[in-house]
Structure 1
């Protein structure tokens, strides 16, 4: 799930820790320049947002980019093979 995080600093460790308090296996990757994080967890988007808010981070869910598979085309994501 993709989230926009207001005032995202370089401390994604604190964000990951906040989410791991609710799901020990949560994984977080970040794009600091864009202020976005990608969360892989057994949490709903609302649970992620609430956990981040409790940790002092204002976040909102972003829509996921759709991956379109066009056989033989340049839009192939490569995950089918």
Structure 2
């Protein structure tokens, strides 16, 4: 799940710790320049947003980018055929 986090400042470790309090196996990767985090956890997007909000972060879910099929290109996932 991809989230836009206001005032993220690249502190992925702090955000991971917040989410691991709710799911010990949560994994978080961050993109500080874009202010985004990618979360892999057994939490709903609402639970992630609530946990971050309670810790003082403002977050919103970002739609996952869709793969575009390009015939003969490397973006093909094989599900079209």
User: TM-score, structure 2 length as denominator?
Assistant: 0.86
RMSD value, Cα = 1.8
Matches within 5 A, 1:1-81: 1-76=1-76
Segments of 5+ residues of structure 2 without an aligned counterpart are none
CA drift at 1:73: 2.6
CA displacement, residues 5-63 of structure 1 (integer Å, 9 cap, x when unaligned): 00111321110000001100000000000000000000000000000001111000000
Measure, in 2, the Cα distance between the counterparts of 1:59 and 1:11.
Answer: 14
Q: Unaligned regions of 5+ residues in structure 1, if any?
A: none
